[in-house]
């Protein structure tokens, strides 16, 4: 078998006309993923320089859903994009005086493709709670490589701008920019391939987005979550996994609320005796799934008033779980002061399920699910 | 001239942004972790170029040989959709992240769902072929797309 060259690829679908158009869609999707990823990063900062807003309550649900499901839609787009430019991979390096420039361009393409594949592969695996890598931190690596991918993408647009403009300015079936051997009509027209590509991206989206969009549940055959769970809300970490089954169910449970020298310890009866509120707020996970719930419980501000906590101060929440990166989280002052922020005791009119954080959990508006601390043990007012 | 300025500007911004990402990675992960990230990115390129791309070439070669000309457009369309969506669904199809203590995670019959996708695409292909056949009966026969040699 002989090694193929650039000229071996004769389909007229492998053309700048396709690459530029699918490239625009892919670029838009990458930009959406990048921006929503930055929003998610901002939402998870313990001390954001600019406070993350508490409204709208569904904001993070939308941005993180967009992040994950736009990423899923990128898979067909990236594959067709790479397919359309594959002959370029096998072209000769050109005259020797330009070899360095050629190598630099191919190096930048390798960085772009490598980082794009890395982002999609690790993102898809993470959304399905699959961690096939050994050592690196998903969150750190996915965040750092996002900058590499978006930078390499901007550089790629700079390099290709003339051909992008020519391709987008001409009719999609125009042969003006085609390679000399790319003359054979394929099974599909170029318009047909573009339609199929957009359709495949839409299908990828529909087949997964039901994890966040309730009316899509039935068609999302590849959704990571069906949406079922205690009180109609799925669970991310079970009480079993967190190692809190015994301590959380202990009748001697007391929630410790601390402000300087003032400490109060509240059992479930004492919490139930405080004014009860009801809020409909979503659990929106970094993994993209989300579900709305009607939570009942005590306003966090009402509890903090028992230890004379001044308005606007942050609190540190500690869970009963003994380990895990989110055992202790800092709730910024604007979330503490929001009237919708509850210490939830109930979901959908029933006492919290053990897996949802019984006896007491935090539920605040517009906050990533990992920071809605379950199995609360201690709330401490902090000055910094 | 303006385009040149825009290109140089974009190029400089792109390099700086990508370099910031590299600095972030190097400063926040140990060298073994950085090496694993680089390995994953490299393996991604290799898997695409040496596995997925040749499979696509093989599919393109087989299509005109295995499928009558009338059915080629819908079969090609369905194949692109099925292959790409299936690849995106690998993590759920394998249920690699399933946990015994959490019945709300990966709680759908994914292989059955994949079967539904295949069936829906097959129905689509069948309908498209019937429509094309009906059109062909009404219109005079056009040129038939015979399989040529040497196609990638």
CATH number of the domain that residue A315 is part of: 3.90.420.10
A308 torsion bin: left (phi>0), alpha (psi -120 to 50), beta (else): left
Residue B142's pLDDT is 54
* Residue in chain A nearest B96 by alpha carbon: A130
Residue A174 sits in the same domain as residue A267:
no
Contacts of A4 in chain B (CB under 8 A): 57, 152
Residue A192 sits in the same domain as residue A239:
no
Domain boundary among A183, A216, A249: A216
Residue A119 sits in the same domain as residue A255:
no
Residue A245 sits in the same domain as residue A374:
yes
Residue A236's pLDDT is 94
CA-to-CA distance for A118 and A371, rounded, in angstroms?
26
Domain boundary among A216, A245, A260: A216
Pairing of strands A255-259, A262-266: antiparallel
Tell me if ipTM is over 0.90.
yes
CA-to-CA distance for B91 and A342, rounded, in angstroms?
35
Mean pLDDT of B112-141: 93
CA dihedral for A253, A271, A280, A300, sign (positive or negative): negative
- Give me the number of domains chain A comprises: 2
Contacts of B64 in chain A (CB under 8 A): 187
Contact A161 B97 (CB under 8 A): no
Residue A157 sits in the same domain as residue A85:
yes
The side-by-side arrangement of strands in the sheet containing A255-259 is A262-266, A255-259, A376-382, A314-319, A328-331
Residue A201 sits in the same domain as residue A238:
no
Residue A198 sits in the same domain as residue A237:
no
Q: Residue A227 falls within a domain, yes or no?
A: no
Q: Residue A221 falls within a domain, yes or no?
A: no
> Tens digits of per-residue pLDDT, A148-207?
999 999 999 999 999 999 999 999 999 999 999 999 998 999 999 999 999 999 999 999
The proportion of chain A whose per-residue pLDDT surpasses 70, expressed as a percent, equals 99
Whole-model pTM over 0.90: yes
Q: Give the number of C-alpha atoms closer than 13 A to the C-alpha of residue A2, restricted to the C-beta side.
A: 7
Question: Dihedrals φ, ψ of B37, to 5°?
Answer: -60, -50
* Residue in chain A nearest B82 by alpha carbon: A200
Are A177 and A17 in contact by the 8 Å Cβ rule? The answer is yes
Range of the domain at A25: 6-216
CA-to-CA distance for A81 and A27, rounded, in angstroms?
11
Q: Residue A48 falls within a domain, yes or no?
A: yes
Distance from CA of A238 to the nearest CA of B (A): 6
Q: Residue A112 falls within a domain, yes or no?
A: yes
Residue A99's pLDDT is 87
In this complex, how many residue pairs, one in chain A and one in chain B, have their CB atoms less than 8 Å apart?
Answer: 255
Residue A176 sits in the same domain as residue A31:
yes
* Residue in chain A nearest B149 by alpha carbon: A10
Six-digit token string for A184: 């054979």
Contact A151 B44 (CB under 8 A): no
Residue A253 sits in the same domain as residue A199:
no
Task: Identify the residue among A14, A37, A200 best suited for mutation to test binding to B, counting B beta carbons within 10 A and taking the highest.
Answer: A200
CA-to-CA distance for B152 and A240, rounded, in angstroms?
54
CA-to-CA distance for B43 and B98, rounded, in angstroms?
25
CA dihedral for A102, A108, A109, A110, sign (positive or negative): positive
CA-to-CA distance for A377 and A375, rounded, in angstroms?
6
CB-based burial label for B21 (10 Å; 0-12, 13-18, 19+): buried
Residue A92's pLDDT is 84
Q: Residue A191 falls within a domain, yes or no?
A: yes
List strand residue ranges (DSSP E) for chain A, in order: 255-259, 262-266, 276-284, 290-299, 314-319, 328-331, 342-347, 350-351, 361-363, 376-382
Using 50, 70 and 90 to split pLDDT, how confident is the model at A345? Answer: very high
A147, A204, A226 member nearest B18 (Cβ): A147
Q: Is A324 on the interface with B (CB under 8 A)?
A: no
Nearest to residue A74, comparing CAs of B121, B18, B115, B87?
B87
Q: Residue A1 falls within a domain, yes or no?
A: no
CA-to-CA distance for A261 and A264, rounded, in angstroms?
10
CA-to-CA distance for A31 and A51, rounded, in angstroms?
23
Contact A226 B28 (CB under 8 A): no
Residue A204 sits in the same domain as residue A330:
no
Residue A118 sits in the same domain as residue A254:
no
> Tens digits of per-residue pLDDT, A303-330?
999 999 999 999 999 999 988 889 999 9
Domain boundary among A191, A216, A241: A216
Residue A171 sits in the same domain as residue A260:
no
Q: Is A172 on the interface with B (CB under 8 A)?
A: no
Q: Residue A224 falls within a domain, yes or no?
A: no
Q: Residue A222 falls within a domain, yes or no?
A: no
Contact A143 B110 (CB under 8 A): no
Nearest to residue A286, comparing CAs of A127, A130, A148?
A127
């Amino acid at each position: 078998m002989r090694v193929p060259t650039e000229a071996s690829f004769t389909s007229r679908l492998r053309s700048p006309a396709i690459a530029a158009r699918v490239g625009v869609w892919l670029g838009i999707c990458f930009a959406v993923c990048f921006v929503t990823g930055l929003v998610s990063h901002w939402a998870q900062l313990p001390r954001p320089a600019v406070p993350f807003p508490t409204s709208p309550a569904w904001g993070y649900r939308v941005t993180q859903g967009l992040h994950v499901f736009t990423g899923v839609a990128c898979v067909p787009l990236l594959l067709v994009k790479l397919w359309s430019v594959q002959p370029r991979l096998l072209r000769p390096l050109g005259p020797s005086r330009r070899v360095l420039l050629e190598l630099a361009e191919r190096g930048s393409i390798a960085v772009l493709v490598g980082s794009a594949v890395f982002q999609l592969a690790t993102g898809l695996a993470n959304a399905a709670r699959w961690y096939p890598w050994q050592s690196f931190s998903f969150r750190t690596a996915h965040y750092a490589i996002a900058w590499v991918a978006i930078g390499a993408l901007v550089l790629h647009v700079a390099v290709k701008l003339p051909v992008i403009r020519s391709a987008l300015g001409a009719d999609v079936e125009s042969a003006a920019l085609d390679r000399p051997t790319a003359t054979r009509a394929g099974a599909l027209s170029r318009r047909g391939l573009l339609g199929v590509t957009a359709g495949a991206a839409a299908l990828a989206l529909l087949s997964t987005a039901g994890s966040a969009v309730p009316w899509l549940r039935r068609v999302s055959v590849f959704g990571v979550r069906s949406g079922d769970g205690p009180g109609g809300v799925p669970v991310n970490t079970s009480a079993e996994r967190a190692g809190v089954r015994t301590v959380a169910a202990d009748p001697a449970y007391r929630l410790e609320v601390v402000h300087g020298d003032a400490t109060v310890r509240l059992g479930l009866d004492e919490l139930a005796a405080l004014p009860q509120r009801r809020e409909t707020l979503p659990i929106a996970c970094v993994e993209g799934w989300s579900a709305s719930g009607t939570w009942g419980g005590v306003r966090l501000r009402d509890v903090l008033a028992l230890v004379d906590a001044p308005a606007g101060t942050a609190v540190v929440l500690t869970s009963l779980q003994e380990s895990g990166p989110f055992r202790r989280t800092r709730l910024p002052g604007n979330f503490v002061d929001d009237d919708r922020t509850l210490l939830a005791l109930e979901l959908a009119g029933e006492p919290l399920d053990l897996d949802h954080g019984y006896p007491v959990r935090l539920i605040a508006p517009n906050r990533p699910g990992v920071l809605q601390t379950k199995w609360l043990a201690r709330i401490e007012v902090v000055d910094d | 001239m303006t385009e040149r300025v825009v290109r140089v500007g974009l190029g400089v911004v792109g390099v700086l942004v990508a370099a910031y990402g590299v600095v972030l990675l190097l400063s926040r992960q140990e060298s073994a972790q950085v090496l694993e990230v680089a390995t994953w990115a490299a393996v991604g390129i290799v898997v695409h170029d040496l596995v997925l791309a040749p499979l696509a070439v093989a599919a393109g070669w087989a299509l005109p040989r295995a499928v009558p000309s009338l059915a080629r457009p819908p079969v090609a369309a369905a194949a692109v959709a099925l292959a790409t969506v299936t690849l995106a669904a690998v993590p759920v199809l394998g249920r690699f992240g399933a946990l015994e203590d959490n019945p709300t995670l990966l709680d759908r019959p994914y292989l059955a769902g994949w079967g539904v996708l295949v069936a829906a695409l097959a129905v689509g292909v069948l309908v498209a072929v019937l429509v094309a056949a009906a059109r062909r009966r009404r219109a005079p026969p056009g040129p038939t797309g015979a399989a040529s040699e040497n196609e990638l």
